[in-house]
Structure 1
Amino acid sequence: MNIELNREFTLKLLEQIINIPSPTGYCRDVIAFIEKLALELGYKFERNKKGNGIIEIEGESDDYCIGIPVHVDTLGAMVRSINKHGTIRFTSIGGNLLPTLDGEYCKIHTRSGKIYTGTILSSSPSVHVFEDAKTRDRNEENMMVRIDEAASNREDVQKLGISTGDYISVDPKFTVTDSGFIKSRYMDDKAGTACALSLLELFRRLGTKPKNKVKILISTYEEVGHGCANIPDDIDELVGIDMGCVGLDLSCTEQEVSICPKDSSGPYDYDITGRLIELARRHGIRHAVDIYPMYGSDVSSSLKGGNDIRGGLIGPGVHASHGMERTHIDGIENTIKLIYAYLTEVQ
């Protein structure tokens, strides 16, 4: 495929959205950032009542509309209660791989707008003090947040303005290696979001249009299962960009775009999936075709929500999902190339 992608734009954009905290339900800041970007690039932007963002790309024809759902909501946590010794008990938002949170830096976002830093720890955090420090299960019952404030009891924490229901975000630790790997929490699905938003720069720079009208749907509740349960009425099909799975009998690597014909919600549309595979083969785009047995997407939630659409799913390969994730710039680039081909070539 003879198009030159702007890797610098994509990587900078990815780092920016990764570093904006956005656990499910707390996505105002990242949506505002994306709205500003879309408007600066000359695209229409609107929000639905749920808070999802919708970016419209004008096509050569407006008779058919392709939706591209991505999600900016991430895993995270919420203050469940305050312990008597001044630490925080938390409840998980989404399917966190909890052992990977032990020792991670975090932020507590209060309703008043104040932000406090802390560390997520086992409640037996020291081998010099607790006999079960190495063996204690890392789960919500046995973990806490240590606040970086002089708070030794529940009342001290309450005086800071921290209370039940405050959001907790985890430091993503975004890193790009010399070998092109991108290490960070929340590649799921901010890597996919960066792929979709890179289309805005690509169409603008090349002066091209998709064959049909396109709406990029920026979902804010995917991690809890209802991100795109309702979509705009004019959308005829969805091609979701979410993380591709890596591991076990799956063939995808982090350098490839993954095409998913079926996940735990059932099969995706036969013709859309076939078209994606055919385009990847024709253009020499590194890809894998894999089934995800423990996975659902915004396309899944849209179908379950009763929307009369058909759907497909692709995404860059991501290793160690819901933990310390990693992808590669090649996988992101191959994903952008595939969705660009799908949108611009006559079917």
Structure 2
Amino acid sequence: MYKDTIELTKELTNIPSPTGDTKKIIAFISNLLNKSGYKPCINNKGSLIITVPGTNQEKQRFITAHIDTLGAMVRAIKPDGRLKLDLIGGFNFNAIEGEYCTIHTQENKDYTGTILMHQTSVHVYKDAGTAKRDQQNMEVRIDEKVSSKEETEKLGIQVGDFISFDPRTIITSSGFIKSRHLDDKVSAAILINFLINLKKTGETLPYTTHFFFSNNEEIGYGGNSNIDSQVVEYVAVDMGAMGDDQQTDEYTVSICVKDASGPYHLGLRNHFVSLCKEKNIPYQLDIYPYYGSDASAAMRAGADVKHGLIGAGIESSHAYERTHKDSIESTEQLVKEYLFSSLS
């Protein structure tokens, strides 16, 4: 194994990769898998594909994890030199209030900053606690001596520059990992380690399988292309959403039965459940009401496949997230059992 999956997850979270600016992490994964003997392919959209020949090449599988994350762009430079944000992905402004960030300029220079309310100081602003957290009121305070639009522009910062959020990744002694962007770098780490271990063991998968690391999932079309006509099953490995009325937790693998796109394939879902029961893998079935995945994107694109969705349970999704090594290990185990199983 390259390293413990939880440690690999930490390494991945520390590589900035907001949707639209993912070349660095794709190159990292490509180099890592190349060293293990694979020949990664990059499609025109910038996603990474590894095809692993199996015993049966007539019927194939397709499995994805996405490496793009939530982020932002510079919407405007304000008269005082601070930045107005435009969000990338489905999250709320309050989820990033007080967060450290990095502005990545088009000249490949990075500047740090902090995302704050304009009315942050309670000693100055009466509405510091009640003002709406939105594009108008929230801004980036840049860690440079700037107090005007012109001074900020002289740094090379301009509209359209990407902004990544500090992941603040911590692994606790009790087995938790808390960080931004566990969605979906936990899953990416699981698939990477599976591939590395597969090379080490020399085992052959029962079916030719395409491993797809997508880079546009957070905006809805990450895994909707490059699906071979012989693919019969498509599985997205992505986070399990937690909250009221949810069964998903931080200690089991979550099997999604339905999200905002509709039900997932019943036969494939039942196959996951059978594997969990047979191999004593802790699991939960769940519905994610405001959620879409690479698999649902593939269905909207017209893919003629059975589609499924599994993943580690992630607490506080699209904010400062957390999961436990037990959930990661359960997901790893189900991924392995599934990829070595017969078709559903």
What is the TM-score with the length of structure 2 in the denominator? 0.97
Partner of 1:237: 233
State how far apart, in whole Å, the 1-side matches of 2:161 and 2:231 are: 36
| Alignment partner of 1:54 is 2:49 | yes
State how far apart, in whole Å, the 1-side matches of 2:330 and 2:281 are: 6
Partner of 1:128: 123
Aligned match for 1:77, one of 62, 65, 72: 72
Partner of 2:203: 208
**How far is the alpha carbon of 1:342 from its aligned partner?**
0.8
Q: 1:148-181: CA deviations, max 9, x gaps?
A: 0111100000000000000000000001001101
Equivalent runs, 1:48-127 vs 2, <5 Å: 48-127=43-122
Equivalent runs, 1:239-318 vs 2, <5 Å: 239-318=235-314
Q: What letter matches 1:69 in structure 2?
A: T
Partner of 1:3: none
| Alignment partner of 1:338 is 2:334 | yes
Is the 2:6–2:186 contact (alpha carbons within 8 Å) kept by the matching residues of 1? no
State how far apart, in whole Å, the 2-side matches of 1:185 and 1:239 are: 24
> Structure 1: 5+ residue runs without aligned partners?
1-5
Aligned match for 2:190, one of 183, 192, 195: 195
Q: 1:55-108: CA deviations, max 9, x gaps?
A: 122222222211111101100000000000010001000112321211110000
State how far apart, in whole Å, the 2-side matches of 1:298 and 1:346 are: 23
State how far apart, in whole Å, the 1-side matches of 2:131 and 2:177 are: 31
**How far is the alpha carbon of 1:188 from its aligned partner?**
0.7
Q: What letter matches 1:217 in structure 2?
A: F
Q: What letter matches 2:265 in structure 1?
A: D
What is the TM-score with the length of structure 1 in the denominator? 0.96
**How far is the alpha carbon of 1:205 from its aligned partner?**
2.9
State how far apart, in whole Å, the 2-side matches of 1:335 and 1:240 are: 12
Give the secondary structure class of the aligned counterpart of 1:128. coil
State how far apart, in whole Å, the 1-side matches of 2:264 and 2:39 are: 29
Is the 2:2–2:196 contact (alpha carbons within 8 Å) kept by the matching residues of 1? no
**How far is the alpha carbon of 1:11 from its aligned partner?**
2.2
> Structure 2: 5+ residue runs without aligned partners?
none
State how far apart, in whole Å, the 2-side matches of 1:232 and 1:272 are: 18
Stretch deviating more after TM superposition (22-31 or 90-99): 90-99
RMSD: 1.2
Is the 2:33–2:196 contact (alpha carbons within 8 Å) kept by the matching residues of 1? no
Aligned match for 2:213, one of 211, 218, 224: 218
| Alignment partner of 1:166 is 2:161 | yes
**How far is the alpha carbon of 1:217 from its aligned partner?**
0.7
Aligned match for 2:324, one of 323, 328, 333: 328
Is the 1:231–1:307 contact (alpha carbons within 8 Å) kept by the matching residues of 2? no
Give the secondary structure class of the aligned counterpart of 1:95. coil
Q: What letter matches 1:90 in structure 2?
A: L
| Alignment partner of 1:13 is 2:47 | no
State how far apart, in whole Å, the 2-side matches of 1:59 and 1:12 are: 29
Count of aligned pairs between the two proteins = 342
Q: What letter matches 1:253 in structure 2?
A: D
Is the 1:198–1:336 contact (alpha carbons within 8 Å) kept by the matching residues of 2? no
Q: 1:208-264: CA deviations, max 9, x gaps?
A: 222111111111111111112212324322111000011111112111100011111
Q: What letter matches 1:232 in structure 2?
A: I
Is the 1:25–1:221 contact (alpha carbons within 8 Å) kept by the matching residues of 2? yes
Stretch deviating more after TM superposition (53-62 or 64-73): 53-62
Is the 1:44–1:57 contact (alpha carbons within 8 Å) kept by the matching residues of 2? no
State how far apart, in whole Å, the 2-side matches of 1:197 and 1:60 are: 21
Give the secondary structure class of the aligned counterpart of 1:44. coil
Is the 2:2–2:193 contact (alpha carbons within 8 Å) kept by the matching residues of 1? no
State how far apart, in whole Å, the 2-side matches of 1:241 and 1:47 are: 20
State how far apart, in whole Å, the 2-side matches of 1:55 and 1:16 are: 21
